[in-house]
Structure 1
């Protein structure tokens, strides 16, 4: 709001001088932008499920960066419920926050949430996921300000490169996916299998869901080993499932190698003790911080133009370079 200050001054002197208007002064409002800049920004973080270590680390990184920037951060946990996430985003819109960082549970429903926020004049960015069904990373939804995420497809390719080195003579391979409906079941697998096909000599004999948990990952690998005792390599698309798979391999006296995704503490520990061959290092704490920084830049005019997908580095990790990946979840 434009502010006007009036200052009166009593001029002592000749009567002619009393007629001078210069004795009264009025501000031009030049201090208004400074007042606006002092307004604390409020950003909402609509998260996936903070009982899961990865989204929880995103939240912690976001909180740290918000504190550094002097931003108020409102964190909400959908607990993996799409309807609840929708309701929480609507609550943030009603609160008239300045921006919303969405950790989408599903790309299709997320687009509707972005549309609602955009219609209310609220900036939206996403982290750890995309908006819009079947959208490619290089083509972000136009109503977003930014995307900060892992290169899921590239990570699958990195896992494939490690698989070729782990089993240079080829052999049978089994894939353990997450819960049904998750995009990662495709994005983390497509380039992995392509790397095997390019090398030649590999056959994917089974694909089963491990539902993102150690227990279900172990059960899936047990089932596969019962039918295919000579599997040479398991690719589990999360470290939790990969660790469970390692337990199944040990119980079956198999020599199969295991590759995971994530760089989680359990995965790094498993690489060190030989349970896993390798993983791909993800950094959710840094990711949350980057998302808050991007939103801050968008709200303060430093980030403009069409939205872009921002990937951070996700290197492959084996026993040879395991200390290079400091677990963030």
Structure 2
């Protein structure tokens, strides 16, 4: 039986310029190391494959170049040191971030070794995109210092970061993770461990339905992408799904649509959920009533005017930008 040891020494704030060890010198390890170095941390990149360490600078240079207006590329790369020996790599680190391939046995072995090598106050994070944190940490003694810090590709551009907690994760560690993520100009979104976590669970709910449309030949790839890019996408980019609903539709209508889809398809995923029904029952129908998922101050007409201006400006920017044309997909 593994004893769960709780560390009470987790710092509330990451030490400025402190040492971080990245375990795994592949694609994500390279990106994460570069990001941390960009924000002033001293980074040791560990990989038993010396070739991965030797090629780091070449692979990291284009990533660091995205910050060229703010910092010198060579200065960023100079904060990253390669180290093939794990014990030496983790020595003195306040955070060890694992980014090895998505293989459970490999990650379990890495974390068991890290648990043995690192003092209990060293935070151990995984960048897993699909494996459960509790499974990864199943062989760890000091399990309360383990959590997920999962970046979304391209991680140096996309600001949202999943902070994944398990039942044993103390609030102090979550607060530390939020502060650390903020220190690299990213935004932490906290979620409990569950299949898909938060972002992939939302993303693949949409993609699964899109795959079905393609399989059934109901729409072309161009029409599907245009439908999302020119309707759902801009609204979600501006406001997110729940605030979007508050701004554009009555909760009564939203509930009626979900119930209608459920009755037509029998798919439980379309069944109106408890939280939505409770809002309808209370009369909290969105911006039009001053309260929905969010509360709103001021006149509804003013809110609508601001909503429309923001969406119009973004759509005009998208038309001028022509992101699809720039990528020139075939």
Q: TM-score, normalised by structure 1?
A: 0.33
Relative contact order: is structure 1 or structure 2 higher (C-alpha 8 Å, sep ≥ 6)?
1
Structure (1/2) with the larger strand percentage: 1
Q: TM-score, normalised by structure 2?
A: 0.32
